[in-house]
Amino acid sequence: MKIVITGALGYIGSKLIQEIQKKIPRARLILIDNLMTRNQASLSDLPGHVPYEFHKIDVLHDDLSPYFQDAQFAVHLAAAVDPQNYPTENLSNHRMTQRVAEECLKNHTTLIFPSTTSVYGVSHPHLCESEDSNTVHPQTPYAHDKRISELYFHGLAAEGLRFVIFRFATIFGVSPGLRYQTAIGKFCQDAVMNHQIAVWSSALHQYRPYLDLEDAVQAILFALTNQLDTGEIFNLASLHATAKEVLDLIACSASFETKLVPSPLMNNLSYQISCEKICRKGFVFRGNLEAGIRDTIDVLRYQESDLFNKNRV
């Protein structure tokens, strides 16, 4: 089975390429990344028997056709995710997605696409995958970009595109391509590096969905092995928690002060999502927030110690 993975050395991709052989031992991996995150080390941790090709490719500008020929699946993880780049990069995200979708359509390749639960722009205790316009109302450029891509795929379905969309909650957990831009990662980084965490005062007791990276990866593998290619959308969240609950768990592993700051207009208020649809397919969530926070803090402390030792030399 030939599988193309864009953004293969990023936060999700670097974990996925470590796990994929366990579920699909005969997979042939075509790994595409532009190396903007400088995560080349992610390739060194792969098992020796993994048949893969790595290509430094710019998905937005380079010719993709040679890499998608005869591919059964494509996992499109390439995207600009830094909030500071949203105003300038979010349109290029969708153009990248268009190019990948067109290659998938041309080559009869099934596309697995991670969207985001941030497409839901309302407070609600139980949001599901319904296309109800009252609940699907993205309020950030990143979420808006993901929603445009969702609609684009549905338009190509009439031409024969096979795909599945996962609406990922905010991801936490450790990978070779670990980044600290998502809420829990940033909280952990601030606790270890600065011993202070700034929290929007209005967000302290609001519920948000979170997704363990391990569950995110296992969901992708579930799609690869169970032929989820019918154009469906699935919510994915390991758990729901408030900022206060997250801070309490971080406090079990690190000492810090909490600084409450006035919040701007929030893109999403307190909300929870339903994951019943993917569970009915047989998927089981196993994510553990406490372990994910503890592991992230351990990695941060190791990095801090390693940097200190290098500076002493």
Q: Is residue 36 domain-shared with residue 157, that is, in the same domain?
A: yes
Average pLDDT score over residue span 265-280: 83
Query: Is residue 82 assigned to a domain?
Result: yes
Ramachandran sector of residue 283 (left: φ over 0; alpha: ψ -120 to 50; beta: rest): beta
Do 86 and 31 belong together in one domain?
A: yes
Q: Do both 85 and 6 map to the same domain?
A: yes
- Domain containing 193 — which CATH number? 3.90.25.10
Do residues 10 and 158 share a domain? Answer: yes
Q: Does residue 90 have a pLDDT over 70?
A: no
Q: How sure is the predictor about 35, in pLDDT bands with cuts at 50, 70 and 90? A: confident
Residues 6+ apart with CB under 8 A from 66: none
Residue 202 shares a structural domain with residue 65: no
Burial of 189 (0-12, 13-18, 19+ CB in 10 A): buried
**70 & 43 share domain:** yes
Kindly tell me if the per-residue pLDDT of 23 is higher than 50. yes
Instruction: Count structural domains, the chain.
Output: 2
Judge if 159 and 184 occupy the same domain. Answer: no
pLDDT interval class at 306 (50, 70, 90): low
Q: Does residue 282 sit within a domain?
A: no
More confident residue, 304 or 6: 6
Model confidence over 210-236: pLDDT tens digits? 999 999 999 999 999 998 888 999 999
Both 81 and 140 in one domain: the answer is yes
Are 74 and 190 within one domain? no
52 and 130: one domain? yes
Please check whether residue 38 lies inside any domain of the structure. yes
For 287, the token pair is: 């994510």
**Residue 170 and residue 182 in contact, taking contact as beta carbons nearer than 8 Å:** yes
* Domain span holding position 25: 2-171+212-236
Instruction: Give residue-wise pLDDT tens across range 156-212.
Output: 999 999 999 999 999 999 998 888 888 999 999 999 999 999 998 888 999 999 999
Please answer whether residues 109 and 147 qualify as being in contact, where contact means their C-beta atoms are separated by less than 8 angstroms.
no
Q: Is the pLDDT of residue 46 over 80?
A: no
Is residue 236 a contact partner of residue 216, using CB atoms and an 8 Å limit? yes
pLDDT attached to residue 311: 47
- CATH code assigned at 148: 3.40.50.720
pLDDT band at 93 (very low <50, low <70, confident <90, very high): confident
Q: Is residue 99 part of a domain?
A: yes
Please tell me the predicted confidence (pLDDT) of residue 180: 83
